[in-house]
Amino acid sequence: MISNQIIKKTIDDLHQITRVDFSVAEPDGTVIASTLNEPEDMAEAVRLFSASQADSQEIKGCHFFKVFDEGVLTYVLMTKGSGESVHVMGKVAASEIESLITAYKERYDRNTFIQNLILDNMLRVDIYNRARKLHIDIEKPRVVYVIQIKDDDNNSSVEILRGIFDTNGKDFITAVDETSLIFVQELEEGAGEKETMQTANMICDMLNTEAMTSVRVASGTVANDIQQVSRSYKEARTALNAGMIFYPERRAYSYEKLGIGRLIYQLPENLCELFINEVFTNEKPDTLDEETLNTINKFFENSLNVSETARQLYVHRNTLVYRLEKLQKTTGLDIRNFDDALTFRIALMITSYLNYIKSGKTV
């Protein structure tokens, strides 16, 4: 059902244009919106009008109009004043509210369809039939974004996103819980991972600026058929979870660019623990001090370049070599060697994954 706030804004806008005062009441006489500061008590008149056969009527210097939703009386609109112009403005306002009811109901039906689609709550034949009834193109390329919002109240974020994307009826934005939004975007032909990551980063920047909230955004792969939207959603969810574990410094993730993190995320916990115990017989990666971990990460960032890493760490080259040799003695791995560096990098990621699981968070 359309909200009272939407109805209030609608009649306020009409009042600004026409200078006519409007009030909207439920059939039982309860006024839900009015442009008057102190609307006259017309509850009894509204109830009598609601019970009558007339669709419009003039009572006590007011024009009354019935507003229907698929043939069911939903609201009674009242305009203050007499004369043909006031009557016409009342008919226009009643028609506008009926159109809003239809539009919001269609949006609700579409959002419900998308929610059931991504959660695999529909049979294949039902997907196609329902999409046609809702005038949703079946074969357009689409991608699903999962947007995790730090704050519990995501209403403002929904409205901001709808103001940017949900303007043509082709994109869908819906909430799945208190801290997550789903954005299903219709793409141009030929669009791919590059375009979806640009959109993901734009969403992060936009919500950070306008909603003043910290978000993470993950995208799945392109779905070329309406039925594949569910797959894209699962991929986006995986990208979000895996990205938070392995790349916590980032804010936007793509399922196609998770790299080895995607593989590790799908490994069973016991296999990960077996790998760590086999590779590190003495000191484990999670027991290393912060300075050593910072040195290792900076060394990896610079593609195992000793000189560049030393420069960025503001240490002498020999100091860095000493640290790497000390690491080799404690772990048995010389990360100046590509194979050992790869093993160490995987071990760090697996350690992050195991710590994430043991923290009790949902993965």
Confidence check: pLDDT of 82 > 70: yes
- Higher-confidence residue of 40 and 153: namely 40
Higher pLDDT, 286 or 140: 140
Residues 349 and 316 in one domain: yes
116 part of a folded domain: no
| Residue 167, pLDDT score | 56
Above 80 in pLDDT, residue 134?
Answer: no
In a domain, 126, yes or no: no
pLDDT greater than 90 at residue 106: no
Q: How confident is the model at residue 222 (pLDDT cuts 50, 70, 90)?
A: very high
Segments forming the whole domain that contains residue 70: 4-98
* Mean pLDDT, residues 162-175 taken together: 76
In this prediction, residues 256-264 reach a mean pLDDT of 89
> Is pLDDT of 64 > 90?
yes
The domain that contains 218 carries what CATH number? 3.30.70.270
Which CATH number covers residue 307? 1.10.10.2840
Token pair listed for 34: 């009015």
**pLDDT-derived band at 2, boundaries 50, 70, 90:** confident
Determine the pLDDT at residue 151.
Answer: 63
Domain final position from 262, 292, 320: 262
Does 319 lie in the same domain as 285? yes
Q: What is the pLDDT of residue 279?
A: 84
Q: What's the CATH number where 14 sits?
A: 3.30.450.30
Q: Is 50 within a domain?
A: yes
The reported pLDDT for the residue numbered 41 is 84
Note whether 256 and 317 are same-domain residues. no
**Tokens at 274, concatenated:** 């077996």
Mean pLDDT of 165-185: 79
CB 206 within 8 A of CB 156: no
Between 205 and 153, the more confident residue is 205
First-to-final CA distance of the chain: 35
Mean pLDDT of 46-74: 89
Number of domains in the chain: 3
Do 146 and 257 belong to one domain?
yes
Q: Are residues 322 and 273 in the same domain?
A: yes
- Is residue 327 a part of any domain in this protein? yes
- On whether both 153 and 84 belong to a single domain, the answer is no
Claim to verify: residue 230 and residue 189 sit in the same structural domain = yes
258 within domain boundaries: yes
Q: pLDDT-derived band of residue 75, with 50, 70 and 90 as boundaries?
A: very high
Per-residue pLDDT at 212 exceeds 50: yes
Predicted structure pTM score: 0.66
Q: What is the DSSP letter of 170?
A: S
Residue 336 has pLDDT above 90, yes or no: yes
Mean pLDDT of the 249-276 span: 90
Percent of residues, the chain, with pLDDT higher than 90:
42
Together in a domain, 254 and 279:
no
pLDDT at residue 363 tops 50: no
The verdict on 236 and 349 lying in the same domain is no
Same domain, 16 and 46: yes
In the predicted structure, residue 150 carries a pLDDT above the cut 60: yes
Q: Tell me whether residue 179 is in a domain.
A: yes
User: Of 262, 279, 311, which residue is a domain's last?
Assistant: 262
Q: What is the mean pLDDT of the chain?
A: 86
Residues 193 and 171 in one domain: yes
Residue 110 lies in a domain: no
Mean pLDDT to the nearest integer, 234-245: 92
Six token digits for residue 105? 């109901």
Token output for 106: 């269609």
Would 118 be classed as within a structural domain? Answer: no
- Last residue in a domain, options 229, 262, 295: 262
pLDDT at site 152? 56
**Per-residue pLDDT, 242:** 92
Shared domain check, 257 and 155:
yes
Helix residue ranges, H only, the chain: 4-18, 43-51, 84-118, 124-133, 155-164, 193-210, 229-246, 260-265, 269-279, 290-301, 306-313, 317-331, 338-358
Average pLDDT over residues 123-136: 82
